[in-house]
Structure 1
Amino acid sequence: MTVENKHILITGGGSGIGAAVARLTASRGALVGVADVHSDNARDVVADIERNGGRAYAVSVDVTSAEAIADMFKVAAEKSAVLDVLINNAGVDHLPAPMHEVSDEALMRNIDVNLIGVWRCMRRAIGTMLGQGHGQIINLASVAGLRSAPMISAYSATKHAVIGLTRSTAVEYARANIRINAVCPSFVDTPMVQGVLSHMDERGRNGIIRANPMKRLGKPDEISGAIAWLCSDESSFMTGQSVVLDGGMLA
């Protein structure tokens, strides 16, 4: 599953799944761009990669800002003329609540980050990849984009949209040698999920932790391995797919 000398740009790379992917792909020889709205987190991940002999750079980005996205791609282009892989990992959720109690602000925040941010990053990356003649885009979706997700309706709606965007664009750009896939984890032990759990009672926490047949949260490293495989040429005939890593939840 070599990604040696590939240039991989990861949004939301400063923590959770994004940081795990950054560390793993850098350890396998990739040049990794760690982009995050929390610049200190991105720099910490880069420092860790470099201590272990890898190559990486940090870049600040707020994916709700078209200007910040443009600046991120400018930095990436300065690091390498070729962008092999974009991983759209940056995302937000909202506190569990019945749909009629979810505020417009929470809905729009989820749309701005989880959908419009992905759209804009994809559009920029595709422009670059068309010029170089190849590329891969991996979008972090969720099992909440493949099934019902009571109490997190706004989040679920955006993840359904990301899967639709992934499938449609994969077909549009297949002949251009640009592959586009989605990854759909269930609940993973990340700062975002822990933030949700912290606002729930014990019954609610246990319900999330034990929601799949394995009766546990996933680990970031369990998701990063699949993403690293998608980054490699071993997945060269795969596009438009939603890779599910859910401990058997959808089985």
Structure 2
Amino acid sequence: MIAADVTAKHIVITGGASGIGAETARLLASRGAKVSIGDRNIELGQQVARELTELGYSAQFTVVDVTDVDSVNEFYRQAVNHFGDMHVALNNAGVDHNPARMLDVPDEEFHRNIAVNLTGVWYCMKQALHYMTQSGGGHIINLASIAGTSGAPMISAYGAAKHGVIGLTKSVAIEYARSNIRVNAVCPSFVKTPMVEHVMSGLNDKQKASLINANPMKRLGEPHEIAGAIAWLCSDESSFMTGHSVVLDGGLTA
């Protein structure tokens, strides 16, 4: 089996210090991509970039807060200055949602989810579009969720943000299709990441078992499984795909 080819592509990743973002950065760099990693966690972000460069791969880290438009603009500016024109922008940064019914969710939790999971994607997409329209095209990939494809009880604020990400993905894909810019989304279910582990830490054993057994595969997804799908999207093998969502959920929504 031939792996999706991303050789010499410059791929910009937010939320690249851990979880799906870090695993994707590792996979893409190992296949020859130039990876610009952004995250609020400076220590972990630098660690991932250092790990990759010590292996002989092309990677660099810049701190970014996706809720701050100036921080986002500076992150993209530095990425392009370092590795040149970007070919793919992976908007992966996100926060979780402590499970609770709407009346028990503080308004601050809603605003936090919208700020990071939706407004942050908006800011990053605008910067990616700014550079891609100048360079002749590219591909924007947004990390959404199956919580954005149907109802998401107990995580309503998170679901609202992810529905918004999918809406943005579809709308902008249509707007920029003739500019040689594709926009797609990836929609995982529960994956074994620090964010999901944090959510599960607040559940009892019965709730944890219910979450794990919700899909036909009876397990959580692995970060490398999501990274593999993203790598395919980053390659030219997905060149006729835009405005769609790749669902990776172990059969949960089948």
TM-score by length of 2: 0.98
CA distance in 2, matches of 1:222, 1:80: 27
CA distance in 1, matches of 2:205, 2:75: 41
3-state SS of 2:247 partner: strand
Match of 1:122 in 2: 125
1:37 aligns with 2:61: no
Structure 1: give runs of 5+ residues left out of the alignment. Answer: none
What is the deviation of 1:53?
A: 1.9
What is the deviation of 1:200?
A: 0.8
CA distance in 2, matches of 1:164, 1:74: 26
What is the deviation of 1:205?
A: 0.9
Match of 1:134 in 2: 137
- Residue 26 of structure 1: which of 29, 32, 47 is its match? 29
Match of 1:185 in 2: 188
1:224 aligns with 2:202: no
3-state SS of 2:36 partner: strand
CA distance in 2, matches of 1:250, 1:53: 40
1:164 aligns with 2:167: yes
3-state SS of 1:82 partner: coil
Match of 1:83 in 2: 86
CA RMSD of aligned residues (A): 0.7
1:61 aligns with 2:49: no
What is the deviation of 1:174?
A: 0.4
State the one-letter code of the partner of 1:193.
V
Please say if residues 10 and 84 of structure 2, whose CA atoms lie closer than 8 Å, have aligned partners that are also in contact: no
What is the deviation of 1:78?
A: 1.2
- Residue 237 of structure 1: which of 233, 236, 240 is its match? 240
What is the deviation of 1:125?
A: 0.7
Percent identity over the alignment is 57
1:201 aligns with 2:207: no
Match of 1:7 in 2: 10
CA distance in 2, matches of 1:80, 1:58: 12
CA distance in 2, matches of 1:207, 1:226: 26
Query: Per-residue CA shift, 1:147-183, capped at 9, x if unaligned?
Result: 1111000000100010000000000000000000000
What is the deviation of 1:26?
A: 0.2
- Residue 107 of structure 1: which of 89, 94, 110 is its match? 110
Query: Per-residue CA shift, 1:191-239, capped at 9, x if unaligned?
Result: 0000000011111111111111100000000000000000000100000
CA distance in 2, matches of 1:136, 1:220: 21
Match of 1:174 in 2: 177
CA distance in 2, matches of 1:199, 1:139: 27
Query: Per-residue CA shift, 1:52-100, capped at 9, x if unaligned?
Result: 2211000100101111101101111211230111000000121000011
What is the deviation of 1:8?
A: 0.3
What is the deviation of 1:51?
A: 2.4
Structure 2: give runs of 5+ residues left out of the alignment. Answer: none
Query: Per-residue CA shift, 1:2-42, capped at 9, x if unaligned?
Result: 11100000000000000011000000000001110001111
3-state SS of 2:66 partner: coil
CA distance in 1, matches of 2:187, 2:23: 16
Please say if residues 16 and 39 of structure 2, whose CA atoms lie closer than 8 Å, have aligned partners that are also in contact: yes
- Residue 249 of structure 1: which of 227, 234, 252 is its match? 252
What is the deviation of 1:120?
A: 0.6
Displacement over 3 Å in runs of 4+: none
